[in-house]
Amino acid sequence: MDFDLTEEQRMIQETIRKFADEEIAPVASENDKKAHFPRDLFEKLAALGFMGTPIPEEYGGAGFDFISHAIVAEEIGRVDSSLRGTYSVQVSLVELPIYKFANEEQKKKYLPKLTSGEWIGCYGLTEPNAGSDPASMVTSAVEDGDFYVLNGQKTWITNAGIADLAIVYAKTDKEAGSRGITAFFVERGMEGFSTRDLHDKLGLRASNTGEIFLENCRVPKDNIMGDLNKGFKVALGTLDFGRYTVSAGWVGSAQGCINICKKYVKERIQFGKLLGEFQLVQQMIADMVVECEAGRLLVYRAGHLKNKGLPNTRETSIAKYYCSEMVNRVAYKAVQLHGGYGFSGEYDVERFYRDARINTLYEGTSQIQQLIIGAYELGLKAFV
């Protein structure tokens, strides 16, 4: 593995970093306070090619490799986890599974609209009583001529309230457990499809989160993604994409905390000298930097395997587990270094701290990642 970025990767990094600093960062705090989703920034990112990063050009994407894709997620996450969340879902939970699992007609129909930013997508897997155990979902899909009739509810769905397209998972065989799940394309405007926004979140406030309601929603059979009753395979493959992207975003969030703290401790004076001159402060900064760098390398290792088309579920879960816990530790230290100011919305570390908390919960909790990693190491599954 070559640890040096290619010239193309450096150019991508410079472009997205400049955009993040000049366009996203100045409004991130205000958008968080108002719980406002910045559709204009989403569209600008799409216009630059950043809403279809790893999708081939023939479908409207940028054709980036997975390291470049991670760089984009990191740079957005460095200034705003909310917008990074929208990016992660759009690209990794919607576009990439379409590219991998959908048929050619479906790819041509949906991918150009998504990569261009004309449409926003969401991923409808989680239910009120089916989070870490998606096989226990109760959303049903009953065959009716050329259609399937869907009934059920999805919750904690990023982009739900703004999405034009939802990839919805439903039971087409209630008795078959995980082997009876099918993935469907459900478009906004289809009868029986509705959403409701969720408010008062601890973090990611500028990212739209909501519930999906399916009430006798008639979906054409042509809208099945992949094979009938094979949706669980699609879901697991999708999570490998999603976990990789969010891990890169958390590396960015950790780097954002470090950058803010470096500036603060070189300006703040206590006991007659700069805060950054105290040994314990330097120790905290050092710990934050080492953790962030370790997370970045774990992400790049998983991306390297993805670029080669090699199995990477284990490596992606390792990155997800480590980076999600790491960014919480780094954000905690960032607040500590700011003292009382860190407890105030006056400084961005407060927002970073709140945003970090969700990371150990979604895309598979830290405990689920431990079970995945443990199963690979021992050859014994703790769950089926």
**Based on C-alpha coordinates, what's the Rg of the chain?**
21
SS3 string, 356-375, reads HHHHHCCCCCHHHHHHHHHH
363 has catalytic annotation: yes
Residue 97 vs residues 51, 100, 122, 238, 382: alpha-carbon distances, Å = 14, 5, 12, 6, 26
Q: Exposed (0-12), middle (13-18) or buried (19+): which is 374, by Cβ within 10 Å?
A: middle
Could you tell me the two tokens for 163? 């999405």
DSSP string, 306-371: HHTT---HHHHHHHHHHHHHHHHHHHHHHHHHHGGGGGSTTSHHHHHHHHHGGGGTTTS-HHHHHH
Amino acid identity, residue 368? I
Number of other CB atoms surrounding residue 136 within 10 Å:
13
The residues pairing with 211 across neighbouring beta strands, listed in sequence order, are: 196
Question: For residues 12 and 27, what is the distance between their CA atoms, to the nearest angstrom?
Answer: 22
Tell me the residue type at 354: R
User: Which sign does the torsion angle of CA 297, 301, 302, 306 carry?
Assistant: positive
**Maximum Cα–Cα distance for the chain, whole Å?**
79
Integer angstrom CA distances of residue 280 from 275, 283, 326, 331, 333: 10, 5, 19, 17, 12
Structure tokens given for 261: 């703290």
Q: Where is 213: in which H helix or E strand?
A: strand 209-220
Say if residues 57 and 63 touch (Cβ distance below 8 Å): yes
Q: Among residues 293, 346, 363, 377, which one is catalytic?
A: 363
Q: Mapping DSSP to helix (H, G, I), strand (E, B) and coil, where does residue 294 land?
A: helix
Count of other CB atoms within 10 angstroms of residue 143: 11
Residues forming the active site = 363
